Structure 1
Amino acid sequence: MTKMIQSLSRRQALGALGGGAVALTTVAARAQSTAVEPLTTITTPRRTFGPDAQPNVYFWDPDLVSVDDKLWGVMQPNASIERLWTGARWAEGPAWNSVGKYLIWSDIPENRQMRWLDDDNHVSEFRMPSNYSNGNSFDRQGRQLSAEHLTRRVVRYEHDGSITVLADMFEGKRFNSPNDVIEHTDGSIWFTDPPYGGQLYEGAPDAAGGPSNAAGLLNPRLGQPPEIGDYIREMETATYRIGTDGAITRVATEEDAADPNGLCFSPDHRVLYIASTGKGPGDTGPGGNGEVIAMDVGDDGTLSNRRVFSDCMVDGVKCGPDGLRTDVAGNLWASSNAGRNVGYSGVTVWAPDGTLMGRIRLPEICGNICFGGPKRNRLFMAASQSIYSVYTGTQGSGPA
């Protein structure tokens, strides 16, 4: 297949990519080969992204794909996409610390958090175990917030190094597996609670008889602390708000946004965006449709005016959203999981009215994103096994 793809013209090869899974299947069938090498995001020249890569980028980076010329107003013409590090099993939850000038992220299956230093590109293990943390962010006081799969809770790391449990139960029931977490300007903390941590790879399945271990064949205690193994999923998927007084409120139900994943606010914090992804382990509810839901945020923290912001379809390909961030102009940046549709994973960029502006192609599925750097104009992308970045012509709207 590799030789066949290389023999195509650039236009023909890109056309094959643009046709998604159907075109790739056709090419593979013609090749009659059982040895299939994954394609890079561009076929000619074959590109590498690492720090030792040969020069291969010109104005503009060839993996910035414009659908609307507005994209060029938020990108930087002489900045290329860079792979900063690779070595994760599944990278998630990037967050930028402005004081320390470092990026943290979760490597969920490895039960650790990693840190990249801006001054010398040094990467080291930041926290292990991390309780299979997923989403991370920093509040406006510089304290780290983390959503933990294993313990099914949301925590905050204080300045003195202690840990505060912000939420572990709602109305007497334990959460499923908190996924992503952010702070509102009023000081409240918002987080999503899908079921994705209820599995061996990214946390622990339910105790025997629970939805993700109905037959009781899995032993959730293996390799875990002694207090782990008795949890059983008790609630629907939902989105929650922790008030400054500690009170927890369910602000969006499963009907509003099933299987909620990443979330973020508009720059004025009057709109909440939620990535409604898809069914997870033990999920018996409706499941998300791989779309971004928008809702208005009231002064009292309630949500209203639910609407589908985007179905995340690009060229007939579902670019499933996960992590979300907005920039200061209100544009929404969403990580893209296009499955086997090579060339469509990465990041999609949407105008405030839901119009697709363009996308950033990556050679790996992108799980989550954040803006960072001293000027908050650098987009960091946690993509499967690697961390990528690209400088933009705008700034992120939040601290992390």
Structure 2
Amino acid sequence: MEDRTNRLSRRRALGALGAGGAALAALPAMAQSTAVEPRSTVSEPRRRFDADAPPNVYFWDPDMVAADDRFWGLMQPNAPIQRLWTGALWAEGPAWNSVGKFLVWSDIPNNRQLRWLDEDGHVSTFRAPSGNSNGNTFDFQGRQLSCEHLNRRVVRYELDGSATVIASDFEGQRFNSPNDVVAHPDGSYWFTDPPYGGQLYEGAPDAAGGPSNPDGLFDPTLGQPPGIGDFVREMETATYRVGPEGTVTRVASEADAPDPNGLCFSPDYRTLYVASTGRGPGDQGPGGEGNIFAFDVGDDNTLSNGRVFTDCVVDGVKCGPDGLRCDVQGNLWASSNAGRNVGYSGVTVWAPDGTLLGRIRLPEICGNVCFGGPKRNRLFMAASQSLYSVYTGTQGAAPA
């Protein structure tokens, strides 16, 4: 049905334009245990993404796949999906700086942040070491926020070049490994705290006896600066809010959204979306099932009415969510990790009522997304080893 829907959608869009009308979002270990034979997974002939690849987009990019005709109104007909750079080990946390016109993202295992310049596409190391940072964002004052796996904290880089620790513990217990963070207009920051940084590849395991190092076989001090190696996982996975005055509040428990990962607000800040991914190192709790939860945000900053927004199953394939962003129309753009089901990794786009609108197929698992560019109409996708982008027909709902 997907191929037929896709063809019909494109035919309608082409007809509308021809008549003068305007046709006119998991963790690497979460590969599926059983592969399926996916339908229409790659373009034919299979495209190349390298800099010397021949042109392959003559109208709609062949790796934009519609499930609903509304999808075409969100995309730009003559805009190709572009690979901007490759060379990371695991790319995550893209964030757009509107003043500097550059994108920052994390290369977690390489313990660095990278920067892509809009002016000429130049990529350079932005910050190293980065504390094995994962999620990044810029707040409403233009300050960068980063979630550090290694140091198990959230930090803010001030405009004068100094750094401030925003949150490192809750009720006297150290965080597991903060993953993603978003800013609220009231000056607060909201972030998730799963355990994915408690491993050798993306941070450091617990000290001997901790959940991710129960037998003490790992030495978490190897290759690390002084002071690293004493942390032990103490808390359940959860979602938090840091108020403007610095008070940390747990807004969603492990029972509400286990193993929380990416998160974002709806454009009116009345709904919080949280991606619940799979079990992490040393997990003793239930573990996420690859769903996206939605919560109502009250005037007192409490969450209520938690529900599964989508199970992220497309054509019978689990498109495990990670990073999330909303556009100005309230549609949710979610990165997709479909494991070995080639052609279902990339980005899924969901209407505010949970209806799947369409997909953007990438040749790599996508870890996180953000809107950027001077007009905030360009979707950046941090996908495994590479950075991709595509211009859209909409705009991101919030800074970074």
Same fold? TM cut 0.5: yes
The percentage of aligned residue pairs carrying the same residue is 78
User: 1:104-163: CA deviations, max 9, x gaps?
Assistant: 000000000000000000000000000000000000100000000000000000001000
Alpha-carbon distance between aligned partners in 2 of 1:390 and 1:225, rounded to the nearest angstrom = 39
Q: C-alpha distance in 2, partners of 1:243/1:123?
A: 34
1:391 & 1:353 partners in 2: Cα distance? 24
CA displacement, residues 39-97 of structure 1 (integer Å, 9 cap, x when unaligned): x9525212112332110112210000000000001000000000000000000000000
- For residue 21 of structure 1, the aligned residue among 35, 38, 41 is 35
Residues of 2 paired with 1:58 and 1:174: CA distance?
52
Aligned residues: 369
For 2:41 and 2:149, the matched residues in 1 are separated by 32
Letter aligned with residue 313 of structure 1: V
1:45 counterpart = 2:45: yes
Gaps of 5+ in 2: 5-33
Partners of 2:230 and 2:182 lie apart in 1 by 28
Q: Determine the C-alpha separation between the residues in 2 that align with 1:48 and 1:115.
A: 24
Provide the C-alpha distance between the structure 2 equivalents of 1:206 and 1:166, rounded to a whole number of angstroms: 22
Aligned to 1:305: 305
| 1:193–1:259 CA contact under 8 A, matched in 2 | yes
Structure 1: runs of 5 or more not aligned: 1-9, 12-19, 25-39
**Residue 231, structure 1, aligned to residue 245, structure 2:** no
Where in structure 2 are the equivalents of 1:189-204 lying within 5 Å?
189-204=189-204
* Distance in 2 separating the partners of 1:198 and 1:180: 15
Q: Does 1:393 align with 2:393?
A: yes
Match of 1:367 in 2: 367
Matched to 1:287, the amino acid is G
Letter in 2 for 1:269: Y
CA displacement 1:325-369 (0-9 Å, x = unmatched):
000000000000000000000000000000000000000000000
Supply the RMSD in Å over aligned alpha carbons: 1.5
- Do the aligned residues in 2 keep the contact of 1:149 with 1:178 (CA within 8 Å)? yes
**Contact 1:97–1:138 (CA under 8 A) maintained in structure 2:** yes
Distance 2:142 2:293 in 1: 28
Amino acid at match of 1:21: A
Amino acid at match of 1:153: R
Amino acid at match of 1:304: S
CA distance in 2, matches of 1:22, 1:225: 44
Is the CA contact 1:337–1:367 (under 8 Å) kept in the aligned structure 2?
yes
Residue in structure 1 matched with residue 263 of structure 2 by the alignment: 263
Task: Please identify runs of 4+ aligned residues in structure 1 that moved more than 6 A.
Answer: none
Q: Distance in 2 between matches of 1:64 and 1:296?
A: 31
Residues 92 and 368, structure 1, Cα contact 8 Å, conserved in 2? yes
The question of whether the paired residues in 2 share the 8 Å contact of 1:183 and 1:189 is answered with yes
Match of 1:293 in 2: 293
* Structure 1 Cα separation of the partners of residues 241 and 178 of structure 2: 12
TM-score (norm 2): 0.91
Given that 2:43 and 2:63 are in contact with CA atoms closer than 8 Å, whether structure 1 keeps it comes out as no
The CA deviation string for residues 241-260 of structure 1, in whole angstroms up to 9 with x for no partner, is: 00011000000000000000
- Aligned residue for 1:34? none
Return the alpha-carbon distance in structure 2 between the equivalents of residues 272 and 190 of structure 1.
Answer: 10
Give 3-state SS (helix, strand or coil) of 2:325's partner: strand
Identify the residue that residue 93 of structure 1 maps to in structure 2: 93
The residue aligned with 2:247 is 247
Cα distance in structure 2, aligned partners of 1:277 and 1:125: 29
In structure 2, relative to structure 1, the CA distance for the partners of 1:43 and 1:268 (3 Å cut) is: closer
1:41 and 1:362 in contact (8 A); partners too? no
SS of 1:109's equivalent in the other structure is coil
Match of 1:71 in 2: 71
Structure number with the bigger relative contact order (C-alpha 8 A, sep ≥ 6) is 2
Q: Which residue type is aligned with residue 119 of structure 2?
A: D
Instruction: Give the match's secondary structure for 1:246.
Output: coil
- Residue 23 of structure 1 aligns to a residue in which SS? coil
Q: Deviations over 1:17-53 (max 9, x none)?
A: xxx92337xxxxxxxxxxxxxxx95252121123321
User: Equivalents in 1 of 2:306, 2:228: separation in Å?
Assistant: 37
Question: Which sits farther off after the overlay, 54-63 or 365-374?
Answer: 54-63
- CA–CA separation in structure 2 for the residues paired with 1:294 and 1:184: 17
Aligned 1:129-140 pairs, distance under 5 A:
129-140=129-140
Matched residue type, 2:37: A
Q: Distance in 1 between matches of 2:374 and 2:64?
A: 23
> Which amino acid counterpart does residue 128 of structure 1 have in structure 2?
A
Structure 1 residue aligned with 2:8: none
CA contact 1:51–1:82 (8 Å) conserved in 2: no
